């Protein structure tokens, strides 16, 4: 009776597994069928009609179907790094030249290794015989307490960056992105089906740090530029290598000074060789001088010449001069923002009142609305710069108090750029800058080649193994081949059911699984042959063969599962894809080789369809 109960349980288990696998793979089959039907329709009106009439079914099937990985579908693979040195610099207080030197050394070491930034900071402070509390948190905190707090900040920053980037990608519309963390400061991002790589690249790496800053008066800007110019004259300008390529472009007759470019060491007005000033006090630089101006304005000796709590920033987008040249306005703004992007609750890309220029409308929460009303009311007639990631998008004049909490970002070239800006503002600002340190792209045509190669290798492996089992083990080989088919179906159904992606290394894992599944059957069949050679009856030989081979099969499968689990835990990208399919396939082969084939033999024995020659 117990054996009868076991038999019923095994049959029920096989039926349930088969039905669940078929149910899980059904959307994949429907997606394939619907896509073929759509591609077979030649005329555009008929295609549109078919899409509209089957829209829900197509979307549902595509959502639940087996997903293809980046290497098979095409797309982008990115490795991004969160700038934790910048993060910790933001957390510090009472900064001085010593702190700047320490963080510079930390940044250099961090760029050359994958060590934790907090460990590098701690080591530098110990080397200088300084306590961390001099710059971080409370003076009463011990180094251990501060390290623990900074490690928590580091972990939170990485997780927050991951979620913000995921939100940006989701709003952009990438299907099934894969975003994982690696170490203490890296993010691995896979975006299947992406075609506009530049747009995605800009969308991901922008910090989206939005600030509203007051502009200083034009007179103060001019005096500041004069002070910098005098300093450059007295200190021989910039190094000899910093020469301006070409001549500066005359903006108009209203320019205070914009002479042809010469070496900044010999010019009487080295700064004004790069920067032009209108009579109204606004300053500009040309497109070809922009990089040199930016590097000059970020020099520590130049920053020391600026008025307290001020900063020189360039416009995000150029203005077009009378001669068609691109000119970047330069603004002197307060370093301390009046308001930040944390109060933004809604952002919407649209066109301006004239319906030509794209812009982004923003709405604020109650706290931001109250502050915005106070700020605009107290600064009527003054200009407020809207600064995003250190660049000024616009600097409108406050005409009146704004009690509604609404504001506008303009100076945007295209609606696509406005939509990207809307996405990053909605997703929120990154806790620290991120940079792309590795990037790979796979084109759709190359992905299609990989699919053909992968399917071909899988088909050849299956055919070779199946034919071998049939030739060598005769009728028993049929049971092994049936179990092999079910094994592959189970692997694919689990991937589809859990929305995992099938990658090229995943196909390699399935091919390896085919060999492992057959290996288990070979162990069982050879044991059965030994029992038959020893004079056992066929039924007894099958029972003993399974019993005596079980321990060896279990040991080999547990060992493989353990190795695959470690690969999945510590590997990244392709290695994880290989390990995942190997784990699923190994578990499935244990089920198919022990349970499925045994029940097939039981069925054949009950109908006298097997003899001793059935095992070759």
pLDDT digits (tens, 9 = 90+) for 408-435: 777 676 777 777 777 767 766 677 788 8
pLDDT attached to residue 493: 92
What torsion do the CA atoms of 15, 16, 18, 23 make, to the nearest 10 degrees?
140
pLDDT of residue 445: 59
| Residue scoring higher pLDDT (266 or 184) | 184
- Cα separation of 340 and 371, whole Å? 11
Output the pLDDT for position 258. 38
Under the banding of pLDDT at 50, 70 and 90, the label for residue 333 is very high
- Both 258 and 296 in one domain: the answer is yes
In percent, the amount of the chain with pLDDT more than 90 equals 14
Q: Are residues 104 and 232 in the same domain?
A: no
Higher local confidence (pLDDT), 607 or 69: 607
Would 563 be classed as within a structural domain? yes
Same domain, 557 and 458: yes
In the prediction, which pLDDT does 429 show? Answer: 66
> Within this chain, do residues 87 and 189 fall inside the same structural domain, yes or no?
yes
pLDDT at 323: 81
Q: Considering 419, 441, 463, which residue would you say is the last residue of a domain?
A: 441
Residue 427's pLDDT is: 65
| Predicted pLDDT at 342 | 77
The reply to whether 118 and 261 lie within a common domain is no
Query: pLDDT tens across 361-401, in order?
Result: 888 888 889 998 999 899 888 888 888 878 888 888 888 88
1 has a pLDDT exceeding 50:
no
What is the rounded end-to-end Cα distance, in angstroms, of the chain? 32
What's the domain range around 161? 76-207+434-441
Of 554, 553, 583, 552, nearest in space to 566 by CA: 583
Q: What is the mean pLDDT of residues 222-233?
A: 90
Q: Is residue 416 part of a domain?
A: no
Contact 328, 315 (CB under 8 A): yes
Structural contact between residues 236 and 459, judged by C-beta atoms closer than 8 angstroms: no
The mean pLDDT value for 85-105 works out to: 86
Res 83 pLDDT > 70:
yes
pLDDT tens digits, 430-452:
777 888 888 887 765 566 777 78
Q: Is residue 420 part of a domain?
A: no
Place of tokens 């996405």: 423
Tell me: pLDDT of 490 over 90. Answer: yes
Q: Which residue has the tokens 């190359």?
A: 446
351 shares a domain with 270: yes
Token pair, residue 308, equals: 């307290």
Q: Return the pLDDT at 329.
A: 92
- Residue 424 in domain: no
151 phi/psi in degrees, rounded to 5? -65, -40
Q: What is the mean pLDDT of the chain?
A: 82
Residues 483 and 493 in one domain: yes
217 φ, ψ to 5°?
Answer: -65, 150
282 CB-contact burial (10 Å; exposed 0-12 / middle 13-18 / buried 19+)? middle
pLDDT > 70? residue 5: no
Q: How confident is the model at residue 318 (pLDDT cuts 50, 70, 90)?
A: confident
Predicted TM-score (pTM) of this structure = 0.56
Q: Are residues 154 and 228 in the same domain?
A: no
Q: Is 489 inside a domain boundary? A: yes
User: Looking at residue 516, what is its pLDDT?
Assistant: 82
User: 247 falls in which pLDDT band (50, 70, 90)?
Assistant: very low
Does residue 169 sit in the same domain as residue 216?
no
Exposure of 96 by Cβ count < 10 A (0-12 exposed, 13-18 middle, 19+ buried)? exposed
The pLDDT tens digits for 121-173 are 999 888 888 888 888 888 888 888 888 888 888 888 888 888 888 877 876 76
CA distances from 201 to 191, 205, 613 (A): 11, 6, 65
**Lowest mean pLDDT across 99-113, 233-247, 499-513:** 233-247
Is the predicted pLDDT of residue 10 greater than 90, yes or no? no
At 130 the three-state DSSP class reads coil
Find how far residue 257's CA is from the centre of its chain: 47
Shared domain check, 234 and 195: no
What integer pLDDT is reported at residue 95 of this predicted model?
83
Q: What pLDDT is recorded for position 353?
A: 65
Rounded to 5, what percent of the chain is helix, strand, coil?
60, 15, 25
Residues 190 and 231 in one domain: no
Q: What percent of the chain has pLDDT over 70?
A: 89
Residues 396 and 490 in one domain: no
Question: Does the pLDDT of residue 330 top 90, yes or no?
Answer: yes
Q: What does the pLDDT look like over 462-475, one tens digit per residue?
A: 899 899 988 888 88
Gyration radius (Cα) of the chain, Å: 34
What is the arithmetic mean of pLDDT over 311-339? 88
Q: Is the pLDDT at 312 greater than 90, yes or no?
A: yes
Residue 132 near residue 143 (C-beta atoms within 8 A): yes
Does residue 425 lie within any of the structural domains? no
| Element housing 435 (H / E) | strand 434-442
pLDDT of residue 72: 76
Q: How far apart are CA 21 and CA 541, in angstroms?
A: 32
Tally the domains of the chain: 4
């Amino acid at each position: 009776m117990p054996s009868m109960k076991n038999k019923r349980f095994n049959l029920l288990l096989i039926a349930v597994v088969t039905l669940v696998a078929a149910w899980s793979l059904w959307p994949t089959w429907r997606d394939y069928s619907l896509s073929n039907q759509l591609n077979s329709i030649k005329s555009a009106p008929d295609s549109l009609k078919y899409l509209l009439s089957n829209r829900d079914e197509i979307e549902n099937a595509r959502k639940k179907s087996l997903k293809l990985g980046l290497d098979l579908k095409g797309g982008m693979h990115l490795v991004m790094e969160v700038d934790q040195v910048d993060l910790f610099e933001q957390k510090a207080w009472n900064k001085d030249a010593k702190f700047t030197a320490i963080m510079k050394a930390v940044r250099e070491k961090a760029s050359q290794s994958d060590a934790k930034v907090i460990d590098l900071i701690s080591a530098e402070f110990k080397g200088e015989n300084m306590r961390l509390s001099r710059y971080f948190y409370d003076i009463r905190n011990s180094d251990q307490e501060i390290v623990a707090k900074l490690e928590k900040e580091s972990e939170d920053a990485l997780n927050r960056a991951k979620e913000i980037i995921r939100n940006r990608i989701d709003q952009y519309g990438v299907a099934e992105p894969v975003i994982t963390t690696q170490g203490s400061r890296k993010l691995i991002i896979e975006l299947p089906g992406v075609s506009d790589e530049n747009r995605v690249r800009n969308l991901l790496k922008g910090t989206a740090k939005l600030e509203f800053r007051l502009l200083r008066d034009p007179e103060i800007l001019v005096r500041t530029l004069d002070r910098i110019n005098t300093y450059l004259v007295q200190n021989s300008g910039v190094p000899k290598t910093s020469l301006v390529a070409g001549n500066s472009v005359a903006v108009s007759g209203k320019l205070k000074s914009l002479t042809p470019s010469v070496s900044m060491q010999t010019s009487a007005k080295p700064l004004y060789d790069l920067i032009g000033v209108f009579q109204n006090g606004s300053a500009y630089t040309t497109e070809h001088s922009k990089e040199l101006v930016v590097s000059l304005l970020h020099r520590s000796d130049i920053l020391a010449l600026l008025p307290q709590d001020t900063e020189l920033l360039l416009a995000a987008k150029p203005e077009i001069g009378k001669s068609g040249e691109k000119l970047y306005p330069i603004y002197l703004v307060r370093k301390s923002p009046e308001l930040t992007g944390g109060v933004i609750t809604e952002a919407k890309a649209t066109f301006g009142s004239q319906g030509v220029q794209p812009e982004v409308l923003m709405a604020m929460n109650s706290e931001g609305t109250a502050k915005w009303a106070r700020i605009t009311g107290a600064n009527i007639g003054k200009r407020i710069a809207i600064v995003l990631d250190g660049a000024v998008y616009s600097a409108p004049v406050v005409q009146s108090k704004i009690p509604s909490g609404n504001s506008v970002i303009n100076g945007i070239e295209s609606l696509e750029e406005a939509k990207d800006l809307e996405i990053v503002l909605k997703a929120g600002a990154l806790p620290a800058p991120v940079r792309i340190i590795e990037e790979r792209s796979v084109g759709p045509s190359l992905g299609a080649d990989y699919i053909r190669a992968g399917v071909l290798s899988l088909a050849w492996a299956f055919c070779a193994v199946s034919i071998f089992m049939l030739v060598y083990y005769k009728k028993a080989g049929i049971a092994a081949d049936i179990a092999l088919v079910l094994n592959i179906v189970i692997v694919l159904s689990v991937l589809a059911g859990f929305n995992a992606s099938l990658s090229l290394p995943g196909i390699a894992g399935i091919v390896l699984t085919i060999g492992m599944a057959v290996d288990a059957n070979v162990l069982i069949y050879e044991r059965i042959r030994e029992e038959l050679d020893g004079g056992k009856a066929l039924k007894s030989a099958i029972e003993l063969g399974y019993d005596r081979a079980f321990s060896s099969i279990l040991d080999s499968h547990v060992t493989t599962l353990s190795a695959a689990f470690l690969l999945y835990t510590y590997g990244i990208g392709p290695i994880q894809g290989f390990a995942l399919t190997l784990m699923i396939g190994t578990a499935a082969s244990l089920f198919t080789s022990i349970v499925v084939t045994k029940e097939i033999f039981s069925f054949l024995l009950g109908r006298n369809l097997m003899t001793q020659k059935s095992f070759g």
